[in-house]
């Protein structure tokens, strides 16, 4: 295990609160992600995992708390803000346009422009296709052509494209919401390999998952949420059975490492 306590986290969320009407989805959650770290974010349904990540990625505005990026206070008001600050989210349903090809999806919303004719930009397709090709090679993603339409790809390949897209613009942090849901076993292994590959290339990643095995395999640290509060924030150690028992204990409320801090 590397020591991370003395360095400035790449992203820090402090005391994040979010209500939906009378429902307190997040009741003051702290989260710190360090450079080149993979965090597994777990919790039962409605524990607040996705809400927390949507706050970080700009999809939700929090009702309280603050976000620091590289130690500086950041205002994330929408997904584009978050992207500009280097926070990329890979959505559960991939969020790809199936009618467009791989390169078009990787560059969607950030197309390379060759010439600008007033408000209309002429795209530099060749540049985008080449960059996409390099990107897929670098991440060892096996897709025969960047001109294949996404609708022709398998579920695993689509997830790979969605992840590649998140990494295409030097993201500081990549958030993955259930990246292995709805995938075959072989495809899951490929996605996990991709996560390891990204980590080896220096990325910092937060993974939301229901699958404890996935978190166990790729994460350095696990954070468990329960009823909108953080109940565990510990390194991933020990064997898978210990890990599983530990996580389940936190998820069902049998253990809670932060019960006093809630009052403060």
**Judged by CB under 8 A, does residue 181 bind other proteins?**
no
Closest distance of CB 76 from other proteins, Å: 14
Smaller CB separation from other proteins, 83 or 230:
83
Q: Single out the residue of 208, 196, 222 nearest to residue 36, CA to CA.
A: 196
Residue 97's CB is within 10 A of a number of other CB atoms, namely 13
Closest distance of CB 149 from other proteins, Å: 9
Tell me, residue by residue from 19 to 58, as one string, x for binding to other proteins by CB under 8 A and - for no binding. Answer: ----------------------------------------
Three-class SS of residue 41?
A: strand
Smaller CB separation from other proteins, 91 or 216:
91
CA distances from 253 to 25, 43, 81, 222, 223 (A): 17, 10, 35, 16, 14
**Judged by CB under 8 A, does residue 91 bind other proteins?**
yes
**Judged by CB under 8 A, does residue 138 bind other proteins?**
no
**Judged by CB under 8 A, does residue 113 bind other proteins?**
yes
**Judged by CB under 8 A, does residue 73 bind other proteins?**
no
- With tokens 């509060």, the residue in question is 229
Closest distance of CB 96 from other proteins, Å: 6
Instruction: Provide the CA 255 distance to its chain's centre, in angstroms.
Output: 26
Smaller CB separation from other proteins, 53 or 223:
53
Candidates 61-69, 102-110, 178-186, 196-204: pick the segment binding other proteins (CB under 8 A): 102-110
Distance in angstroms (rounded) separating the CA atoms of residues 262 and 264: 5
Residues contacting 253, CB < 8 A, separation 6+: 226, 231
Question: Quick one: which of 73, 75, 147, 196 contacts other proteins (CB under 8 A)?
Answer: 147
* Residues of this chain, 114-133, that bind other proteins according to CB under 8 A: 119-123, 126, 129-130
Burial level of 46, CB count in 10 A (0-12/13-18/19+)? middle
Closest distance of CB 215 from other proteins, Å: 25
Candidates 8-16, 113-121, 209-217, 247-255: pick the segment binding other proteins (CB under 8 A): 113-121
- 212 close to 40: Cβ distance less than 8 angstroms: no
Distance in angstroms (rounded) separating the CA atoms of residues 169 and 123: 17
Question: Quick one: which of 5, 23, 72, 109 contacts other proteins (CB under 8 A)?
Answer: 109
Q: Single out the residue of 164, 75, 74, 177 nearest to residue 128, CA to CA.
A: 164
Closest distance of CB 59 from other proteins, Å: 8
Distance in angstroms (rounded) separating the CA atoms of residues 180 and 159: 8
Q: List interacting residues with other proteins (CB under 8 A).
A: 59, 79-80, 83, 89, 91, 94-100, 104, 108-111, 113, 119-123, 126, 129-130, 145, 147, 152
């Amino acid at each position: 295990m590397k020591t991370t306590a003395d360095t400035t986290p790449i992203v820090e969320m402090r005391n994040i609160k979010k209500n939906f009407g009378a429902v307190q989805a997040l009741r003051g959650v702290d989260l710190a992600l360090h450079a080149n770290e993979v965090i597994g974010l777990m919790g039962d349904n409605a524990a607040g995992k996705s809400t927390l990540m949507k706050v970080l990625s700009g999809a939700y505005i929090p009702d309280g708390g603050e976000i620091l990026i590289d130690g500086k206070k950041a205002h994330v008001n929408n997904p584009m803000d978050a992207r500009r600050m280097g926070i990329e989210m890979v959505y559960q349903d991939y969020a790809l346009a199936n009618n467009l090809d791989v390169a078009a999806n990787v560059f969607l919303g950030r197309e390379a422009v060759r010439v600008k004719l007033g408000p209309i930009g002429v795209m530099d397709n060749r540049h985008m296709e080449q960059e996409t090709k390099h990107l897929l090679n670098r991440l060892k993603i096996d897709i025969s052509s960047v001109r294949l339409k996404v609708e022709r790809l398998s579920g695993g390949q689509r997830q790979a494209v969605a992840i590649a897209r998140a990494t295409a613009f030097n993201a500081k942090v990549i958030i993955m919401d259930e990246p292995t849901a709805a995938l075959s076993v072989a495809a899951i292994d490929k996605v996990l390999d991709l996560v390891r590959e990204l980590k080896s290339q220096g990325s910092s990643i937060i993974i939301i998952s229901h699958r404890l095995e996935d978190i166990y395999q790729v994460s350095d640290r696990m954070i468990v949420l329960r009823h909108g509060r953080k109940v565990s924030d510990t390194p991933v150690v020990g064997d898978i059975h210990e890990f599983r028992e530990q996580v389940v204990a936190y998820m069902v409320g049998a253990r809670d490492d932060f019960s006093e801090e809630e009052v403060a």
